[in-house]
A = this chain, B = another copy of it.
Amino acid sequence: MDWHGPFIAVDWGTTNRRAWRIGADGTVQDSLADGGGITSVPAAGFDAEAAALRARLGDLPMLLGGMIGSDRGWRNVAYVPCPADARSLAAGICWIDPRTGIVPGVSQKGPQVPEVMRGEEVQIFGALAGNTIPPDSLVCHPGTHAKWVQLEGGRIARFATWMTGEVFALISRHSILASELEGTAQPGPAFAAGVAASADRDPLGHLFALRAGRLLGTPLPDAPSYASGLLIGAEVRAALARMGDGSPYLIGRPDLCALYAAAIAEVRGTGVQPDQIIDGEWAFLTGLRAIIRELA
């Protein structure tokens, strides 16, 4: 199988998926993004979905990453244990057929705290391959389940997960604060005030003031940003304390990275440099190409 020519890259998540046709020179030639995440596909439907992606983007080799390799996806692909690098990911690919492979996730086992990731590892090795992060660095990947990752010698040495994003989404949708939290969190004064209020690392002891303030006629301006600052600020303080107080690199969705950069700047007193913020989509595609280079 020729992995030196064009190929199809797929980032197949729980609720969404994106796919690209990548040329032999590494450029994006075509792409799609839709809501066809793994939970929208019946267990026996992934072969047909892959064929449809090829019908749309070209009859090419296909490399996939993300939750498509989970127990709810196409195959339950075994995790590669820490320390992990692009080579061990390549060796752990689950081959559906010789031209269709699913990249494994990464696990951390005892005596360390158990941890797993699926998808973030591709972006991290992309950022490394693109020389945008040093081989020894602290990386934060914001998201529903934010990952903080310590790299040592270009390998994922250890990592930890914060459920901040999911808890913020649950509170915004389902809690008594739902009506206060309509709108989108943005970096700015209210977000910074939330980060400052997270100094005692007690976000669940400060959120109710948003409701009480409105009931008493003293609503806080921009409650979604304040609440986001409270939760992300508490995460950043805890993660820097646990993972090492270096200046972290951020990889992921630009809007989330901007919030985390603002929180890190507030907590550390030093701004995050623009080149420490790496676009997740670029990193994912660069990571798949780095893994392909490791195929013998």
A114 to B223, CA, bound (A): 14
Inter-subunit contact B175/A209 (CB<8 Å): no
Within 8 A of B (CB), among A97-140: 107-110, 113-116
Flag the segment in A1-9, A49-57, A163-171 that touches B.
A163-171
What is the bound-complex CA distance between A170 and B204, given in angstroms?
13
Q: Is A207 an interface residue (CB 8 A)?
A: yes
Give the size of the chain A interface in residues (CB under 8 angstroms): 46
How long is the Cα–Cα vector from A242 to B116 in the complex, in angstroms?
35
Interface string of A179-220 (1 = CB under 8 A from B): 000000000000000000000111011111101110110100
Tell whether A176 is near chain B: CB-to-CB under 8 Å.
yes
The CA-CA distance from A163 to B215 in the complex, in Å, is 17
Question: Which residues of B are found within 8 Å of A202, using beta-carbon distances?
Answer: 201, 234, 238, 242
B167–A216 touching, CB < 8 Å: no
- Given the known interface contacts A166-B175, A174-B174, the answer about A115 and B208 at a Cβ–Cβ threshold of 8 Å is yes
Cα–Cα, bound, A236→B238 (Å): 18
What is the chain B residue whose CB lies nearest that of A211? Answer: B116
**CB atoms of A204 and B234 under 8 A apart:** yes
With both beta carbons as reference points, the residue of chain B lying nearest to A70 in the complex is identified as B215
Q: Which residues of B contact A108 (CB under 8 A)?
A: 212
Contact A205 B175 (CB under 8 A): no
Complex interface: chain B residues within 8 A of A113 (CB): 206, 209, 212
> A216 contacts which chain B residues (CB < 8 A)?
79, 107, 109, 114, 116
CB pair B170 A114 closer than 8 Å: no
Interface CB pairs A-B, < 8 A, 29: A107-B212, A108-B212, A109-B216, A110-B218, A113-B206, A114-B213, A114-B215, A114-B216, A115-B209, A116-B215, A116-B216, A145-B176, A145-B208, A162-B205, A163-B208, A166-B175, A166-B176, A167-B167, A167-B171, A170-B170, A170-B171, A170-B174, A174-B174, A200-B238, A200-B241, A201-B238, A202-B234, A202-B242, A204-B234
Complex A-B, nearest 7 residue pairs according to Cβ-Cβ distance, in ascending order: A202-B238, A161-B208, A114-B212, A114-B213, A170-B170, A116-B212, A201-B201
Q: Hey, which bits of chain A sit against chain B, CB under 8 A?
A: 71, 79, 107-110, 113-116, 145, 160-164, 166-167, 170-171, 174-177, 200-202, 204-209, 211-213, 215-216, 218, 231, 234-235, 238-239, 241-242
